[in-house]
Amino acid sequence: MFKFAPLVGKTLWRHRSRTILTAIGAAIALFVFCFIGAVREGMADLARRQAAKGSLIVFQANKFCPATSHLPQDYDEKIAKINGVKEVVPIQVFTNNCRASLDVIVFYGVPPQKLRAARDFTMLSGSWDEFETHQDSAIVGRGVAARRGIDVGEKFSIGDLSVVVAGIYSAEDPAEENYIYSHLEFLQRGEGLDLVGTVTQHEVLLREGSNQLAISDQIDEMFRGGSVETDTRPKGVFQAKALGDLTHLISMAQYLGYACVAIVLALVATTTIMSVQDRIKEHAVLQTLGFTGMTVFMLVMAESIALSLIGGGLGIALAMVTLEMTNLSVAAEAVTVAFLPSFRLMGIGLAVAGVTGFVAGILPAWQAASVNILAALRSS
């Protein structure tokens, strides 16, 4: 069939306005489809990574937004004595918005000496020493740095909170690149805050082979009936709960993705049917010259698939470039999900475009192949 590629190309170009408009429609639909898919990819990647790490989050019981959770900082000393616990990291969280948003700024206040053990960061610019020796400094993930135009040495402010950017880091986990890490004491003593001695949460790093659920129960039992009760969960479970409403919203958005596929199907099918109707006599001539009905069928199918792949491929390419350049993320309750472009998502998009083109071409291809040659040649 490759020898008929020039014929397919000429056929599509003959009505170039119709072809271009259909391709643009397919591109827009696949662009939206890929954006929805990128959020789902980001959520799945976040869940996989946190399940593999096996860490726990200790939060105040019956609290939701980070601004309402206040645990005694010295809980870390008691938790560290539990068998199977490798390290406990007290964390103060500050966010400009607990609700779902595309531009949430999340500060994590962490003891500098514990940050390197808890996170695997690569400093792209600036230095760790600068961060560790200046209490009002912070290191910024490259995702939020690109989105907000932040550079090393600049002062960055959210409300009454201002930090000097000591470095910009990258991380293997794309979601981590949307956080800002500052000194724990600096965040506790922020203007208008009196949080010394308390933290939002404790992150518990476990030794390999430790039983997450057993240690979670042990931590909660330790502080049951105390001044502040705890709710301890594996980090992935904790994040899934924080993202609960957002997860439902993203799940509903998949129906928008299905609608985009339906739009491509309708556009390509309509264009292909119009093309076949315009060329009834031409297809009859081809069959009189020795082309079989199956060959004509395959020619029309090739036109439909090519049209869908051209438009869909353009939309997928634009989506991948946009996602890579914009570093978009969505967050809720200080948990961030990165919009994750991937080769897997690209492959799914191309497969959807190809299958849609195939399905859209079946009816018009059958009509072209089953045309009555004599009646078609007699038609004006």
Domain residues for the domain of 271 are 2-46+251-378
For the chain, how many structural domains are there in total? 2
Q: What is the DSSP letter of 262?
A: H
Q: Are residues 357 and 255 in the same domain?
A: yes
pLDDT band per the 50, 70, 90 thresholds, residue 18:
confident
- Nearest alpha carbon to residue 297 among 196, 366, 225, 250: 366
User: Would the pLDDT of 6 be above 80?
Assistant: no
Q: Are residues 209 and 92 in the same domain?
A: yes
Please state, in angstroms and as integers, the Cα–Cα distance from residue 236 to each residue in 44, 45, 92, 115, following that order.
11, 11, 19, 19
Q: What is the DSSP letter of 335?
A: E
User: What is the rounded average pLDDT of the residues 161-190?
Assistant: 90
User: What is the rounded average pLDDT of the residues 36-48?
Assistant: 84
User: Would the pLDDT of 176 be above 70?
Assistant: yes
Q: Does any domain span residue 241?
A: no
User: Would the pLDDT of 140 be above 90?
Assistant: yes
Q: Are residues 73 and 215 in the same domain?
A: yes
**Residue with token string 């018009």:** 364
Q: Does any domain span residue 53?
A: no
First CA to last CA distance, the chain: 30
Please state, in angstroms and as integers, the Cα–Cα distance from residue 51 to each residue in 46, 55, 239, following that order.
9, 8, 11
CB 173 within 8 A of CB 50: no
Mean pLDDT of the chain: 84
Could you report the per-residue pLDDT of 90-138, keeping only the tens digit for each?
Answer: 999 988 776 666 677 889 999 998 988 888 889 999 989 999 999 999 9
Residue 41 identity:
E
CB 192 within 8 A of CB 160: yes
Strand, coil or helix: 371 = coil
Q: Does any domain span residue 16?
A: yes
Among the listed ranges 23-32, 228-237, 257-266, 275-284, which one has the minimum average pLDDT value? 275-284
pLDDT band per the 50, 70, 90 thresholds, residue 327:
confident
Q: Are residues 193 and 279 in the same domain?
A: no
Could you report the per-residue pLDDT of 50-75, keeping only the tens digit for each?
Answer: 666 778 999 999 887 787 889 999 99
Q: Supply the pLDDT for residue 275.
A: 75
Strand, coil or helix: 224 = coil
pLDDT band per the 50, 70, 90 thresholds, residue 313:
very high
Distance CA 128, CA 57 (A): 25
Residues 6+ away with beta carbon under 8 Å from 77: none
Q: Supply the pLDDT for residue 353.
A: 93
Question: Last residue of some domain: 182, 213, 228?
Answer: 228
Q: Supply the pLDDT for residue 99.
A: 65
Q: Are residues 83 and 130 in the same domain?
A: yes
Distance CA 308, CA 304 (A): 6
Among the listed ranges 101-115, 194-208, 230-244, 341-355, which one has the minimum average pLDDT value? 230-244
Among the listed ranges 12-16, 242-246, 295-299, 312-316, which one has the minimum average pLDDT value? 242-246
Q: Does any domain span residue 246?
A: no
Q: Does any domain span residue 110?
A: yes
Q: Are residues 350 and 262 in the same domain?
A: yes
Strand, coil or helix: 82 = coil
Q: Supply the pLDDT for residue 184.
A: 92
Q: Are residues 211 and 296 in the same domain?
A: no
Q: Are residues 158 and 118 in the same domain?
A: yes
Provide the pairing of β-strand 106-110 with 179-183.
Answer: parallel
Q: Does any domain span residue 51?
A: no
**Residue with token string 């005694």:** 72
Q: Are residues 83 and 214 in the same domain?
A: yes
User: Would the pLDDT of 380 be above 60?
Assistant: no
- Nearest alpha carbon to residue 221 among 213, 230, 208: 230
DSSP string computed for 202-227 = EEEEEPTT--HHHHHHHHHHHTTTSS
Q: Supply the pLDDT for residue 192.
A: 61
Please state, in angstroms and as integers, the Cα–Cα distance from residue 8 to each residue in 5, 133, 172, 300, 303, following that order.
5, 67, 45, 8, 6
Q: Are residues 272 and 131 in the same domain?
A: no
Q: Are residues 82 and 209 in the same domain?
A: yes
